[in-house]
Structure 1
Amino acid sequence: MAELIFMAGLGAGVGSILRFFMLDQLTRVSQLSTSWMVVIINLLAAFGMGYLSGLSLVLPWHTMVTTGIMGGFSTFSTPINELAQVLGNDDQSKRKLVLLKTGIMFTIGMPILILGRHFGLN
């Protein structure tokens, strides 16, 4: 059990660094807001999670790359936090935008995860 916890923690650190690097690089080349970049990163993470779950990795490595790296790379807490903030807000346009981004992540994320798994299995 200690080995799995270590592998997950190590992977989470790697995933967080990858997310930070990717956000930094996207900011330099894109006009997208950070919150839209988070949507893109989470969709990439969904594909990656699907792909990796389709591979036949042994348990410690599976834990490191799925729970660890992909968990650290994705950041579903950011859109959920945005959603919680706008639900009590009177700004309808901001609320609609946050609902749109959250909807995109969860409705498009699932087919992307399934597509990634298909590639991982084949």
Structure 2
Amino acid sequence: MLTPIGLVGGGAAIGALIRYTTMQLSKPLNQRWSLPVATLGLNLIGALLLGWDLTSPLPSSWQLFLGTGIMGGLTTFSTMINEIIILARHHQIKTALTYFVLSLGGGLLFGWLGTLL
């Protein structure tokens, strides 16, 4: 039986590897859009799955592994904030605000939708 720290750490490693791979594969897509679509997509998917995980009948060990672990490693608040700052520094204020609103509003919406699954 794994300890809670093992469940979270193992899940976080998986989530971080999925995020890294997705970010690498989506570089051509990000070059076509002014919005950081890869980070936005990962964070929205993470919010959806976290909403589901936290309201599911799964045992607490699975909730730790999937929610705190995988979703914690998959999603990234710090990258989103950094991308917003970079957009603003490059005088793309409208894009930065759009990204912020989509991230926050979309995250809340997707999290709520996840609770309905």
Q: Which interval holds the TM-score relative to the shorter structure?
A: 0.7 to 0.9
1:38 aligns with 2:36: no
Q: CA deviation at 1:24?
A: 2.6
> Which runs of no fewer than 5 residues in structure 1 stay unpaired?
none
1:103 counterpart residue number: 101
Q: State the aligned residue count.
A: 114
Is the 8 Å Cα contact of residues 36 and 83 (structure 2) preserved in structure 1? no
2:65 counterpart residue number: 64
Tell me how large the CA RMSD over aligned residues is: 2.3
Q: How does 1:10-25 map to 2 (within 5 A)?
A: 10-25=10-25
1:74 aligns with 2:65: no
How far, CA to CA, are the matches of 1:107 and 1:21 in structure 2?
Answer: 26
1:9 counterpart residue number: 9
How far, CA to CA, are the matches of 1:81 and 1:24 in structure 2?
Answer: 17
> Which runs of no fewer than 5 residues in structure 2 stay unpaired?
none
Q: CA deviation at 1:34?
A: 7.8
Q: CA deviation at 1:97?
A: 1.5
- Counterpart of 1:5, as a letter, is I
Q: CA deviation at 1:61?
A: 1.6
What TM-score do you get using the length of structure 2 for normalisation? 0.82
- Counterpart of 2:82, as a letter, is N
Q: How does 1:75-94 map to 2 (within 5 A)?
A: 75-84=76-85, 89=89, 91=90, 93-94=91-92
